[in-house]
A and B are shown apart, each in its own frame.
Chain A
C-alpha cells in the first residue's frame, strides 16, 4: 500500500499556522577500549563475530560487568552539558524481543539516569545562541548489526533471511535526550542541525567518542510535532530514526514540518509513528505505526548494583573538563581581535582548530588565519579534500610563516614552499633547501644585478635620476626576474634609488 502524501509546505508557510515542537535523542557510542558490560574489544570494522563473549552474546549464565571508563565518560558528558550528576543511579532492563539484541532486553537506565537537567547553548548561523535544555543522558548498550539477504533491495523488507554480527552488541552508548524545543518557529530545522553539531563538537572535545555520524558512532532520532499557533498543547509527534548527517537532521525536520502541516491542513490527523529519512529524496516515510505504546516492562537490573558517584570524584572530573567550544571561541575572538563575522568564517571553514594550533606553534593569528582561510583553503578546494585533511600540519604552516617574517622567504616563495610540503617533499626547510628557494639577501649580489639592469635600460635610469622614482618599478622587475623572484623587492627598490643617486 502506498500513501500519496500532500506536497510539503515550506517552513514559512507552516509557521504561519503552527508552532513546531522538537525533541532530539542522540546516541553517542563511547570510544572505550572494551564494551559496556564485558571485556570484548569495542572496535569499528572488525571481522564479524570476533569480538563476542558469553556476556555480550547473552549466553545462559553470563553476567554483565560495568565498564568504569564508560561511567566516567557518561559523567563527563553530563558535566559538559551542565547536567546534575545523580547521587545514586542504577541500571534497568528494557524488555523487547529483537534478534539484534542477544538477551532480548537492553540494559539501560530508566527512572534514574546518571546525569540530568542540563543545557547546551547552541550557536546559530546569525551569531546568536539558542539554549537547548537537556532532560537526561543515560548509559546503555548498543545492539548487533544485521545484514538482510535475498530479496531485491538488501533491505529488511522483502529479505529472505538475515545474518547477524554481534560485534557491536554491548558497545557503550550514551543517550542524550532534550526537553521539547519550543518557539524556534521557522528556525527549527536550523536549531536542530546546530544542536547536533554543537553536541558533536562538545563530545569530540571531551575525547570520549569518535562522534562519526557516517560510521554510526553518533546517531540522531528527531521527534517533531506541530501545534496550532497560540496553542500550548503539543500535537501528535513522529519520530524520524537514525538521521545520519547534520544536513539530514535539518532536512528531516523541515520535511516533517511541511508534511505534517499538509496532513493537518487537509483535515487529517498525524499518526504517532516511527519514520525513516531518505537521503536521496530528502523525505521521510512511515515505519511501524505505534498504535499501542510499546510496553518495555522496565525493572531494576538485578545483576548490577547502584552507582553512587562521590562528590570529590565528580569535582575532579569537572576540573579536568576541557574549555567548552563556545567559551574557547569567545576567548579566541577577543585574543585575536576578530569581528563576529571573521570568527564565523573561521568556524564555518572548519579552520578554527588549525589556526589555533598554528598560533600555538608560534605564528601570529593574522598570518595564521590568512594562510588557512585563503591559500590553504584554495588548495583544499582544488584537491577536493577537507581543510583538516590537507597534507600539512599547523606546525609546518607556522614554520613557513616564521621563514617569511625573518626574511628568508617572500610571500610568493612561501607559497611555493607550501606547495612542496603538500606535494610530499618534506618539511618547509626541506623544500627550501630542495628547491633552492631562499631569498637573495646578499646586497653585493643584488647591487650587481641592479647595476646590470640600470645599464641595460639607461633611459629608465635617467627618468629615475630626474625624480620619477616610480619608474624604478621596471628596474626592480628586471632584477626580480634575474633572481628568479628570490629577492626582496623592497630592498631591491632601495638599492635602485641608491645606485642612481636619487633620494627617496
Chain B
C-alpha cells in the first residue's frame, strides 16, 4: 500500500527539522512503511461522513480584551540558550520567512 522510501523519510525529516542519520533513514523507512500500512486502513471509510475536529460542544469561547501581567524578562531570558540586549540570541537566519 504505502511505500515510504529513504528519500521520503529524508524529505519528512527536513520538513520536521530532524537531522536524521543515514542509519535512521533505513530504520525509519521500514517502520514508517509498516505504520502507514496499518493506519492507512482509515481510507476504507465512507467519504460522506463529516469530520470531527473538536469533541466538546463549545462555541464562542472568548476572552475580554483586558491586559494581564507579562513575565519578567530577565527570568525568561535566563532560561534561554543565549540572550543579548534584552533579546533572544539565535544563530544566523538563512532563509526568508516562507
CB pair B86 A47 closer than 8 Å: yes
Given A49-B87, A164-B87, A288-B98: A302 and B54 interface contact (C-beta under 8 Å): yes
Question: What is the count of residue pairs linking A and B with beta-carbon distances less than 8 angstroms?
Answer: 134
Number of B residues contacting the other chain (C-beta, 8 Å)?
Answer: 36
A71 — which chain B residues lie within 8 A by C-beta? 62
Which of these binds chain A: B22-30, B33-41, B42-50, B88-96? B88-96
Given A97-B17, A99-B93, A143-B97: A34 and B68 interface contact (C-beta under 8 Å): yes
Given A34-B66, A68-B62: A49 and B56 interface contact (C-beta under 8 Å): no
Given A52-B71, A68-B62: A160 and B87 interface contact (C-beta under 8 Å): no
Given A51-B70, A98-B98: A308 and B59 interface contact (C-beta under 8 Å): yes
CB pair B65 A68 closer than 8 Å: yes
Return the contact of B98 from the options A65, A156, A294 (Cβ within 8 A).
A294
A163 on interface, CB distance cutoff 8 Å:
yes
B65 — which chain A residues lie within 8 A by C-beta? 32-34, 67-70
Given A53-B71, A57-B76, A98-B98: A163 and B89 interface contact (C-beta under 8 Å): yes
Given A32-B65, A33-B66, A40-B67: A48 and B86 interface contact (C-beta under 8 Å): yes
The digit string for A267-280, where 1 denotes a CB below 8 A from any CB of B, is 00000001000000
Q: Distance in Å from the Cβ of A39 to the closest Cβ of chain B?
A: 3
B53 on interface, CB distance cutoff 8 Å:
yes
Please, which residue of chain B has its CB at the minimum distance from the CB of A305?
A: B58
The digit string for A294-316, where 1 denotes a CB below 8 A from any CB of B, is 11100110101111110000000
CB pair B97 A98 closer than 8 Å: yes
B60 on interface, CB distance cutoff 8 Å:
yes
A160 — which chain B residues lie within 8 A by C-beta? 92
Return the contact of B93 from the options A33, A57, A162, A295 (Cβ within 8 A).
A162
Number of A residues contacting the other chain (C-beta, 8 Å)?
Answer: 59
A41 — which chain B residues lie within 8 A by C-beta? 67, 70
CB pair A307 B70 closer than 8 Å: no
CA distance A50 to B54 in the complex (A): 34
B53 — which chain A residues lie within 8 A by C-beta? 90, 299-300, 302
B96 — which chain A residues lie within 8 A by C-beta? 156, 274, 287-288
CA distance A54 to B75 in the complex (A): 12
Please, which residue of chain B has its CB at the minimum distance from the CB of A303?
A: B54
A159 on interface, CB distance cutoff 8 Å:
yes
B63 — which chain A residues lie within 8 A by C-beta? 39, 65-68
A100 — which chain B residues lie within 8 A by C-beta? 97
CA distance A71 to B64 in the complex (A): 11
Please, which residue of chain A has its CB at the minimum distance from the CB of B95?
A: A288
Q: Distance in Å from the Cβ of A271 to the closest Cβ of chain B?
A: 15
Q: 8 Å CB contacts to B: which residues of A39-78?
A: 39-41, 47-54, 57, 65-71
Most central of B64, B65, B85, B98 by chain A CB within 10 Å: B65
CB pair B85 A54 closer than 8 Å: no
CA distance A166 to B90 in the complex (A): 13
Please, which residue of chain A has its CB at the minimum distance from the CB of B64?
A: A68
- 14 A-B residue contacts at CB 8 Å? A38-B68, A49-B76, A49-B87, A49-B88, A52-B70, A66-B62, A66-B63, A96-B98, A149-B84, A162-B92, A163-B88, A163-B90, A302-B53, A307-B62
Q: A48-B85, A49-B86, A307-B62 are in contact. List 12 more A-B contacts (CB 8 A).
A: A39-B63, A39-B69, A48-B87, A57-B71, A67-B63, A88-B59, A98-B97, A163-B87, A163-B90, A288-B95, A305-B58, A307-B59
